[in-house]
Chain A
Amino acid sequence: AQSVTQLDSHVSVSEGTPVLLRCNYSSSYSPSLFWYVQHPNKGLQLLLKYTSAATLVKGINGFEAEFKKSETSFHLTKPSAHMSDAAEYFCVVSDLTGRRALTFGSGTRLQVQP
């Protein structure tokens, strides 16, 4: 069975400071991992994905994530937060057996203070 744990339900940063959103996963296989972003009352947008290629993955809007197998982590970072980054972020793991769909973490709400 697979699972995802997002370690912080809320993160608050000041504009221009770094962002770190933490995610740990559990999977019996070499997983595919994703980060999605959701703005209020909107659908989810894919930020980036890891599918067993380079362990440092670059996504849209300046975000990146590093896959660390030894730590079973896939933390999302951005060097400098922008007000428009305020949203809900979901860490997601793929079930490679094909029998199921993606498994979502519970989400981290990012607030960006001016």
Chain B
Amino acid sequence: DGGITQSPKYLFRKEGQNVTLSCEQNLNHDAMYWYRQDPGQGLRLIYYSQIVNDFQKGDIAEGYSVSREKKESFPLTVTSAQKNPTAFYLCASSDDATGNYGYTFGSGTRLTVV
């Protein structure tokens, strides 16, 4: 079955560490997105990529980095510069760059700073 796989499901990070969240899709979608979800704040856009080897900053890109070397993969690195990284991270993809037909979401990664 086609879908989006996020791993790991739970991730713990020590202060000052960089961690990378994986997102893989086998839907042949061109566009991929990373969102951060905090309680009571809905979803906020971190980065998005509408095509391989290209990506754009979203609303809260500071302290995060991404790459898009393959169509199927869009990993997110949470760097030590991100001061409050504890959150639920969601990856999504769409076959239309405008998102006009909606997204398919992964099941998320919960990151906790210890």
Pick out which of these stretches binds chain A: B11-19, B68-76, B78-86, B106-114.
B106-114
Whether, in the assembled complex, B99 has its beta carbon less than 8 Å from a beta carbon of chain A, the answer is yes
Q: Indicate if A28 sits at the interface (CB-CB under 8 A).
A: no
In the assembled complex, B45 has its CB within 8 A of some CB on chain A: yes
Given contacts A43-B6, A49-B101, 8 further A-B contacts (CB under 8 A): A32-B98, A42-B107, A42-B108, A43-B90, A97-B98, A98-B97, A106-B41, A107-B40
Which stretch in A13-21, A65-73, A77-85, A88-96 binds the other chain? Answer: A88-96
Asked whether B110 lies within 8 Å of A41 as measured between CB atoms, the reply is yes
On chain B, the residues within 8 Å of A113 by CB distance are none
Q: Identify A94's interface contact among B40, B43, B99, CB under 8 A.
A: B99
What count of chain A residues pass the 8 Å CB interface test? 25
A105 closest partner in B (C-beta)? B42
Chain B residues proximal to chain A, CB less than 8 Å: 4, 6, 31, 33, 35, 40-45, 48, 50, 58, 88, 90, 92, 97-108, 110
Question: Is the beta-carbon distance between B108 and A32 smaller than 8 angstroms?
Answer: no
Q: A42-B107, A43-B105 are in contact. Are A90 and B43 (CB under 8 A)?
A: yes
A56 within 8 A of B: no
Interface pair A102/B103, CB less than 8 Å apart? yes
B89 to chain A, nearest CB (A): 11
Contact A95 B108 (CB under 8 A): no
In contact, A9 and B40 (Cβ under 8 angstroms): yes
CB distance from B93 to the nearest CB of A (A): 11
Nearest CB in chain B to that of A44: its residue: B105
> Judging by beta carbons under 8 Å apart, are B42 and A43 in contact?
no
Instruction: Please name the residue on chain B nearest to A45 by beta carbon.
Output: B105
- Counting CB contacts under 8 A, is A55 at the interface? no
